[in-house]
Copies of this chain bind each other. A is one copy, B any other.
């Protein structure tokens, strides 16, 4: 068994309204910052012990499918590193 950290990034799908990101962008603009666009995402860093990086990625993928992401509105991506 090897110790891995699987990072799951959960984003709203293109076209889904994100009022939090819009508010953040407007607040930055009000502070004088110049930006074209701002998107927000949730990031989960999950420490797992697994046989291989592929095994760790597969489990993180299943966690995203079952709990971390809502497939109706979210896309997600999984990245695995040894820790």
Which residues does A use to contact B, with CB under 8 Å? Answer: 3, 9, 21, 24, 27-28, 31, 33-49, 59, 62-63, 66-68
A-B contact pairs, 19 of them (CB 8 A): A21-B44, A24-B44, A24-B68, A27-B67, A28-B63, A28-B67, A34-B48, A34-B49, A35-B48, A36-B47, A37-B46, A37-B47, A38-B47, A39-B44, A41-B43, A41-B44, A41-B45, A42-B42, A43-B43
Question: Out of B28, B34, B39, B46, which one reaches A38, CB within 8 Å?
Answer: B46
The complex is assembled from copies of this chain, and their number is 2
Chain B residues within 8 Å of A34, by CB? 48-49, 59
Q: Which residues of B contact A28 (CB under 8 A)?
A: 63, 67
